[in-house]
Structure 1
């Protein structure tokens, strides 16, 4: 392989920020590493996305304890990816909440995804031995929309459409107009789209925009603390998804195989997005999924550790 596989060579630790968005909302971010959202209600705390291991979750807990001593009662999974869910036990929550679609994906492919992700990006699974055996299972699931009340503070959990996965959930504070988007939105970070629905994703972003958030915590990248910054985050993600799909679709229409489409798409997107975090990591997975969707696979195929390496060798050799 001409490049180190995925992000195995990425060993540089990132600087963590804990940004206050309101008296109730905080963003735990780390220079393009996966973000965690925190909502402090009247009587309890909700965490959105957990970090990848219980040991890594303890740094989030430490930040929470700097601002409140209220119990961490709820963990929300924006989707099923291991890097977002395997730290759940570190919070000792009363409930783990996810969409029914996310639950179904855990059943279908959780074990394979866990092995795949740990192999791709070891730094994000620091102290992986602290993850309990088995998978992280929701204790509450919902379809479409539900509200959780933290005292008088309403948190709406909403499926606004498919995009990053079929189970994507956002957390929305309607009174404060603050949104936690999960990986539906990224900021100055390359969207991972190996399990995506490219045709649906733009409409889902439009549905987010229709809420008119005044602040937004993306899946990766800095917290977006103004409406203008939110618009930039949405526009950047939308442009990446559209440019990727247009390039791949053009290659498919021209009868090109996956390798040729990958080379063309990499060349087309590198000048505009190459400075974004994990660009080289994501592109092989993203193009492969996009090619699948544009040809014969309406739904994402399961990534396994073996499939990961075979794909990488085929495209990056």
Structure 2
């Protein structure tokens, strides 16, 4: 292949940051790697996103223990992707929360996604032998739910399809902070291979309407202040639109996937080529955009074999 497959060539250790984005609310970030969140309540702690393996989850737990000795009672997973959920067992949380749609996607495609992501991004699966199996929630919700960590209220809700069909956001009202998962990114490519381009903009509008004071995105640094939040939402919107529109134009005239690839690269390279995981995401993004433009609403399941075939067709 002309390029190392996906992120197989990315073996560089990333620098972790642990920023307080509100009183007792933290963003765990690492230079474009998947982020996690920490919400400290009166008597216990909620974690947002588990990381890909129990060993990597320990890095989050170490940061938690640097600021509190309260037990971890809740783990919230914004969607089903392996790099977000397979480290869940490390936290010992009594409740693991997902949307019911996300749980259905674990059942439908969780193993295939695990196999696919392990092949794509080996560095993020450090200690993969410690993964006990697929992560299943103990608690699900249809549209929204509220958890009280003592007196601290945490609202968890679906506000629209975007990165996946089951995306959830987590809002801490007393500090007006939101964890968006991969609906919003900052200086990182959006992974759209399981996404819904036609809905993503409306979902971003719903986040914008919340007028939060800080956002911990799925990847990239913590966004503190409304100006930073608005900038990242605008950048995410531009990335999604710049991917979908060229692919849709090619599909509308009966063009090929390779022609869509060339059109998307022409639109996106000048603006986003230096973003984290850009080259990794682009073939998956184009394939999904081309499918959606041709009327395929439910993203096709990525398998390790389909990944390789698609990569060779576009990046080979």
TM-score (norm 1): 0.99
Distance 1:217 1:26 in 2: 8
The reply to whether residue 72 of structure 1 matches residue 96 of structure 2 is: no
Partner of 2:302: 303
Distance 1:156 1:307 in 2: 37
Q: Deviations over 1:50-95 (max 9, x none)?
A: 1110001111101101111111000001000000000100111111
1:266 & 1:120 partners in 2: Cα distance? 21
Question: 2:37, 2:47 within 8 Å by CA — same for their partners in 1?
Answer: yes
Q: Which residue of 2 aligns with 1:41?
A: 41
Report the counterpart of residue 251 of structure 1 in structure 2: 250
Whether 2:114 is the aligned partner of 1:114: answer: yes
Q: Is the 8 A contact 2:38 2:45 kept in 1?
A: yes
Distance 1:296 1:304 in 2: 21
Looking at structure 2, the residues matched to 78 and 195 of structure 1 have their Cα atoms a distance apart, in angstroms, of 14
Cα distance in structure 2, aligned partners of 1:96 and 1:12: 31
CA distance in 2, matches of 1:206, 1:296: 24
Task: Report the Cα offset of residue 231 of structure 1.
Answer: 0.4
Which residue pairs with 1:187 in the alignment? Answer: 186
CA distance in 1, matches of 2:231, 2:295: 33
Matches within 5 A, 1:6-21: 6-21=6-21
CA distance in structure 2 between the aligned counterparts of 1:136 and 1:173, rounded to whole angstroms: 25
Are 2:214 and 1:201 aligned?
no
TM-score, normalised with respect to structure 2: 0.99
8 Å CA contact 2:43–2:150 kept in 1: the answer is: yes
| Alpha-carbon distance between aligned partners in 2 of 1:316 and 1:186, rounded to the nearest angstrom | 24
1:200-239 aligned within 5 A: 200-239=199-238
Aligned to 1:269: 268
Q: Please give the secondary structure, in 2, of the residue aligned with 1:199.
A: helix
Q: What count of residue pairs does the alignment treat as equivalent?
A: 316
Deviation at 1:176, TM superposition (A): 1.5
Which 4+ residue blocks in structure 1 deviate beyond 3 angstroms?
A: none
Maintained 8 Å contact 2:252/2:293: no
2:216 and 2:223 in contact (8 A); partners too? yes
Question: Which string of whole-angstrom CA distances, capped at 9 and with x for unpartnered residues, describes residues 234-269 of structure 1?
Answer: 000011111111111111123210011101211221
Separation in 2, partners of 1:22, 1:248: 40
SS of residue matched to 1:221? coil
Unaligned runs of 5+ in 2: none
The C-alpha deviation readout for 1:95-124, integer Å capped at 9, x for no partner, is 100000000000000000000000000001
Q: Deviations over 1:186-222 (max 9, x none)?
A: 0000000000000000000000000001000000000
Residues of 2 paired with 1:190 and 1:129: CA distance? 28
Match of 2:28, SS state, is strand
